[in-house]
Amino acid sequence: MSKFIDNLKRVCDGAPSPIGFLPRPTAAVPCRILLLAVVAPEDLDRVAEFIDGADAVLLPVASENPPKKRLTGFADAAGKTLWGSWLKGKNAAIPELEKAGCDFVVFSGSTVLTAAAEEKTGKILEVEPSISDTMLRAANNLPVDAVFINDDSVREGSLTWQHLIGFQRCVDLLTKPILAPVPADAGSEE
């Protein structure tokens, strides 16, 4: 099983409620957020700069058969940080990714089903924020571990209330953990 998915589920589930006759704590424990850094292919030589403080790293993979040298170089640069692949094509060579140390994959709805059939690798389904409520609810019954809401407009500017409304809509309709993008320069206020 994917270590990143295990961490994600642990954060989403939170701590169990105490049982018995003791009073419940009144102060809420703040929710921890996992940080997933996306490294652009042109920045592979600077991976160490991007992964500082990240819980995991995501490498976009455009070709069906990424060069093994590139994958092993990325895995070496990531070190002990968990890493996954963002599959940009319809087909993917997941066994090769897994051999290189890939812990999870993000794939779109247009990816061939057999490409994401590996059991050991965590599976994250990429959806657009404009997806219908019916289609979003249907994702609950798919054999995926989490859902990534891919909103390109977030990466182009600042987070807005409209973005938060879209993310909250997905939270309300999904039972799976959700990943959402934020701008690289987002401050603590955002």
Q: What are residue 179's DSSP bridge partners?
A: 148
Confidence of residue 16 (pLDDT cuts 50, 70, 90): low
56-112 confidence digits (pLDDT tens): 888 887 766 666 777 777 778 788 888 888 887 766 667 777 888 888 988 887 776
104-108: strand order across its sheet? 36-38, 56-61, 82-87, 104-108, 122-127, 146-149, 178-179
Residue-level pLDDT at 114: 61
Pairing status of strand 122-127 against strand 178-179:
unpaired
Q: Record the tokens describing residue 91, joined without a space.
A: 């087909």
Mean pLDDT of the chain: 78
With 70 as the cut, is the pLDDT of residue 23 above it? no
Confidence of residue 138 (pLDDT cuts 50, 70, 90): very high
Pairing status of strand 178-179 against strand 36-38:
unpaired
Confidence of residue 17 (pLDDT cuts 50, 70, 90): low
Residue-level pLDDT at 137: 93
DSSP string, 122-183: EEEEEE-TT--HHHHHHGGGSS-SEEEE--HHHHHS---HHHHHHHHHHHHH-SS-EE----
Contacts of 176 (CB under 8 A, 6+ apart): 139, 140, 144, 145, 146, 147
Of 96 and 118, the structure prediction assigns the larger pLDDT to 96
